[in-house]
Amino acid sequence: MKRGYTLVEVLMALVILAVLAVPLGYVLENTGEGSARARLRDQALALAQEAWTLSRATDPDSLRDTVWDRDISGARWRIFRDVFDSADRSAAGLPPIRPSAALQPPVEISVCALRARGEDDWDTVRCFRWLRPRMRILP
Amino acid sequence: MVLFGMALALLIAAVGWTRAWSRRTESAHLCLAWQSRLLAESATACALQDAMARQVPAARDSTTKDTTSKRRSTSVQDTADSACGFLGPAPGTMSWEPPAGTQLLSVHARGSVTESGQPLVVELRSIWGGAPPLDPFSPALSLWDRNAGVPRLTGKVRGEVRLRADSAVPSGFVSQPSGGGISDFVPSSLGSDTAAAMDRMAVAFRSEDARLGGARFSPSDPPPDQDSLVYTIGDVVFDGPWTGDPWVPGGSRTLFVEGRVEFRGRMALDSWRIYAVGPVVVQDEAALRSMDIFSEGGVQVSDKASVSGQILSKGSLVLSGNASLAAPAFAAVWPGKGADSVPRIAVQDRAAAQAYLVALGGGAEIRLGPGADFRGVAVSGGLLRVQGTLHGVGVAGRVDCDQSGSDCSDGNFDRPSLPADFAFPLGLPGNLGLRLVSWETSR
């Protein structure tokens, strides 16, 4: 004769399952969120690298503060490029840059990639900062 | 079945969690590595600015700091007092090594950020030269001696010959445009390079790092693991093995020696800066790449040894045997004292050179021997003696051969062979712009 599970056994299994289900659900949820966040960061890095490439190809004296908007897989992105220019120098109390190319300090560039959370709500995902020579570089 | 379901759920959760964790770790690592690379690139920008600022020392900007310290290292912080630091907040540090000369820049820059308590370092090695000007480099040979007669060239000449002489210009030759002289071909910042190098040596020999006496290094007794090595009153010898794999001491260091420096055996050095009061001797199969060599006692490269980079020396630079001065290379010599007082560059035997050579002073001499292979530009304030072939441009006060008093050259001037990517020095008169010759990243 085939013996089935007793009620006590089934109840115990259900209790164990319920106890495990909570942390398991938490882990799975975090896993999904973590992966999504990592994907976002990777996208932000790629956008920043794009801005870096663009900045590199631009004559240093033509670099300006710029904002780009991009849509990637349905997500809205905004890339801010800040260039530390003569107005910023003046605001920081630094002397103006001399006209001689040899004496000019490198240009400081900051790029931030922001992702839209709402209509006018932006989440800063990645920011990078670097210096580039102000001299003319030939190919 | 229940237990199997539970095990399956646990397995899925564990796999998912592991993947998510590694994904996040990888993402964070990529981000930090990129920031580190940007810092190394920023340090390169600072090194370039240092070099360019040295070329116009008289008109120094008030925001430009003295750059002759033995090592520049800037913590990235919110500061407005450094001309070459970040003004906004950024994580990590950057550093760069100031070169001995600023004609052909071999920049070794480093960016570092912290990852899990450990530094994540990216190193950028780059070599920068000047852009090739179209003129006045078009002729194969230029003579600037006002009193020179018509040169008697017995060798083969492809390209123009320009003369400064007021005497009649022979048929087929073009006269030199008004003004000029060899100064058009001599980097204007050589003087400030020399002064900066001598200052740096003086500071190093007085520093606490200075060791009394010389040293002999070998694979079993390598140089100390320090960025800067200073030896006073003594010679320093690098003794590589005679057979087997070459010895690679590694690291990019700065070596100050108050005596002679010698590299011999089978060995390879990359991106070192050598400051020597005595001669620098490179022989056997020593291969020195992207070097900055400053010597007050001359430089000799012989046997199968090779050097690339920048050489600034009092007295002479002699390449003999099968030695080579490999591209990109810049070398300048100027009058010394005593026995080695004549500024002289000699490429003799079967030696080869691809470089921009400058010998300063009225008594200067550049001699390209019969078997020598030279590609580039040879600029001599005095004599240019071409017995082999000069592929490129020669600029000199006079050409000569062994019989004094007669202008002659039985060698060949072959203008069209100057390499298209030839690296000109940065300090030539006129704003030529920077040219990136090579670029290498390591992590």
Q: Specify if A138 maps to a domain.
A: no
- Work out the mean pLDDT of chain A and round it to a whole number: 81
Residue contact B64–A105, C-beta within 8 A: yes
Tell me which chain B residues have a C-beta less than 8 angstroms from the C-beta of A130. 38-39, 41-42
Q: Which of residues 81-100 of A touch B (CB under 8 A)?
A: 84, 88, 92-95, 97-98, 100
Check residue B176 and give its pLDDT. Answer: 36
Question: Prior bond to B370 cis, omega within 30?
Answer: no
Nearest-CA distance from A78 to chain B in Å?
18
Name the residue range of residue A54's domain. 7-132
Distances (CA, A) of B436 to A53, A118, B128, B133, B328: 16, 45, 5, 15, 11
Tell me which chain A residues have a C-beta less than 8 angstroms from the C-beta of B38. 52, 128-130
Whether residue B267 is predicted with pLDDT greater than 50 in this model: the reply is yes
Q: Is the pTM of this model over 0.80?
A: no
- Which tops the pLDDT comparison, B117 or B294? B294
Half-sphere exposure of B5 (CA within 13 A, CB side): 9
Sign of CA dihedral B417, B420, B422, B428: positive
Tell me which chain B residues have a C-beta less than 8 angstroms from the C-beta of A93. 80
- Chain centroid offset of residue B96 CA: 15
Q: Which residues contact A52 (CB under 8 A, 6 or more apart)?
A: A111, A128, A130, B38
**Counted domains in chain A:** 1
Q: Residue B411 — pLDDT band, cuts 50, 70, 90?
A: confident
- Which tops the pLDDT comparison, A101 or B251? B251
Nearest-CA distance from B85 to chain A in Å?
8
Q: Specify if A1 maps to a domain.
A: no
Question: Residue B280: is it exposed, middle or buried by C-beta count within 10 angstroms (0-12/13-18/19+)?
Answer: buried
Maximum average pLDDT range among A16-20, A21-25, B134-138, B384-388: B384-388
Q: What is the ipTM of this complex?
A: 0.78
Q: What's the rounded mean pLDDT across residues B162-188?
A: 54
Check residue B305 and give its pLDDT. Answer: 97
Half-sphere exposure of A105 (CA within 13 A, CB side): 26
- Which tops the pLDDT comparison, B395 or B407? B395
A64, A80 in Cβ contact below 8 A?
Answer: no
Percent of chain B residues topping a pLDDT of 70? 78
The total of other beta-carbon atoms located within 10 Å of residue B74's CB is 18
Q: Specify if A137 maps to a domain.
A: no
Q: Specify if A44 maps to a domain.
A: yes
Residue contact B48–A135, C-beta within 8 A: yes
Nearest-CA distance from A118 to chain B in Å?
25
Q: Residue B407 — pLDDT band, cuts 50, 70, 90?
A: low
Tell me which chain B residues have a C-beta less than 8 angstroms from the C-beta of A108. 86-88
A128, B35 in Cβ contact below 8 A?
Answer: yes
Q: Specify if A97 maps to a domain.
A: yes
Whether residue B336 is predicted with pLDDT greater than 80 in this model: the reply is no
Nearest-CA distance from B365 to chain A in Å?
32
Q: Specify if A27 maps to a domain.
A: yes
- Which tops the pLDDT comparison, B54 or B343? B343
Q: Specify if A58 maps to a domain.
A: yes
Check residue B71 and give its pLDDT. Answer: 44
The total of other beta-carbon atoms located within 10 Å of residue B391's CB is 20
Selected residue of B63, B127, B435, B438 to mutate for chain A interface (largest A Cβ count, 10 A): B63
**Angle (CA) B294 B300 B305, round 5°:** 105
Check residue B311 and give its pLDDT. Answer: 95
Q: Residue B2 — pLDDT band, cuts 50, 70, 90?
A: low
Q: Which residues contact B414 (CB under 8 A, 6 or more apart)?
A: B140, B156, B158, B159, B389, B390, B391, B392
Maximum average pLDDT range among B120-134, B246-260, B410-424: B246-260
Q: What's the rounded mean pLDDT across residues A10-14?
A: 83
